[in-house]
Amino acid sequence: MNLTVFRSWSVILLLVGVFLGYSLYSAEKHTDGRHFKFGLDLIGGSHLVYEADTDKLDPTEVTEAMVALRDVIENRVNIFGVSEPLVQVEKAGMFSESERTERLIVELPGVTDLDEAIALIGATPSLEFKLERPPLGTSTDPTYLDTGLTGALLKRARLEFSTQQQGGFSNEPMVMVDFNNEGKDLFAEITGNNVGENLAIFLDGELISNPVIRDKIFGGTAVISGGFQTAEEAKELVRNLNIGALPVPIELVSTQTVGATLGTEILEKGIKAGIVGFSLVLLFMLFWYRLPGLAAGLALVIYLVFMLAIFKYVPVTITAAGIAGFLLSVGMAVDANVLIFERLKEELKKDKEYADAVVDGFKRAWPPIRDGNLTSLISATILFWFGTSIVKGFALVFGLGILTSMFTAIVITRTFLVSLSGVTDKDSPLLKSGIRNK
């Protein structure tokens, strides 16, 4: 066993921990640095509930449409720079008034002005193309047939100006809409099968253009014109369409402002609990295992720094449930170290040399550490897969903590302990008064 290599790695790991710790500290001190992301329950914000109108969709298409709606709204909110927004689909339960009620939950941490929050979501346009049909019966109003061509198939929109019209020139703003491959094929099919018919264009349920199909259009580009008073209106439509046209109409049904007072108290108490608990654990390890306990304590400090770095640089949004998951993962990290030291103690009682005892102790400790952490990871995965947003936050942090604790216990603690060979040999007073005689 090359002790020089292990001791070199011990120094490198310590330097990495110091560097990460300093970078975390300095980033929080600078206003323009990367900061920790906190959830709605800790810093307050706005909670919005939208209801989607899916009555016109086939039941088999609802799930896909709601996923597309979530992605569009999330993309729109992200463009405005909201810190770690949460956008999720929620289907009403069996006791809902409507069996097909589909809701979209939007949480905007740090945005406590409801008007501002609603403006961030905005009236993202719902774009539809429908075929005009003659009036039915005695009605004078035409009817419109859904074609399936909507803003969900939009690739991009751009602003252009017409340069010629009958009798002269004009500078009329037009919005050119390009469809994706699926939309392009559908547009070609619709125009090819309905030459001479009117293809009405609806924006947010309002008829804005009703052009006649002159020929089959292969390029997948539709023109929206004639409904803009100014070029600014057309520019705004282009911007909104490019941000994301809604695949289904939505209606705001509930708003709530969440204050940060309770969240601040939870955060402060959580930090205090973490500091006190972590300090007591370090003292216990140092008292009970002496110098090896100090090595484990250093490994736990590096574990803490690694977890904070993951929170900041991945980043992971910190919630009250996430703090609970983090503190629980600290317990898992300590548990792994205790198992290692107990196996090490048993090997030392066999009068083995310290280096051999470390190797054999880790071999014996690994199976229970592996199995215990694996079952916890399975639980965390199930909670994350099936849980609500709050449960997902707990499960994510808990799972990351387990993986990190396994790394620090098996790699870092082992490296530190092997590096102590020659310092804590079998006749060392540090072992006689510590791990050997416990």
Q: Domains for the chain: give ranges and CATH numbers.
A: 3-38+260-432 (1.20.1640.10), 43-122+253-258 (3.30.70.3400), 127-245 (3.30.1360.200)
Which token pair is 33? 């640095």
Strands (E), 259-325: none
Q: Does the pLDDT of residue 311 top 50, yes or no?
A: yes
The residue with tokens 């929620």 is 90
- Report the range of poorest mean pLDDT among 85-94, 253-262, 274-283, 290-299: 85-94
Predicted confidence (pLDDT) at residue 428 exceeds the cutoff of 50: no
Least confident of 94-108, 135-149, 165-179, 327-341: 94-108
pTM over 0.85: no
Alpha helix ranges (H) inside 314-433: 320-348, 354-386, 389-407, 414-419, 429-432
> 257 forms bridges with which residues in the sheet?
46
Strand-pairing partners, residue 86, are 107
Strand partners, 250: 52
Helix (H) or strand (E) holding 58: none
The answer to whether residue 131 scores a pLDDT higher than 90 is yes
Across 93-107, 122-136, 312-326, 386-400, least confident range: 93-107
Distance from C-alpha of 315 to C-alpha of 317, rounded to nearest angstrom? 7
- Helical axes 62-79 vs 231-244, angle rounded to 10°: 120
pLDDT band at 433, cuts 50/70/90? very low
Structure tokens belonging to residue 257 = 């402002």
> What's the pLDDT tens digit per position in 190-217?
999 999 899 888 877 778 778 888 888 8
Residue 427: band (very low, low, confident or very high) from pLDDT cuts 50, 70, 90: very low
pLDDT of the residue at 378 = 93
What mean pLDDT is predicted for residues 11-31?
Answer: 85
Three-class DSSP category at 391? helix
Tokens of 426: 């079998």
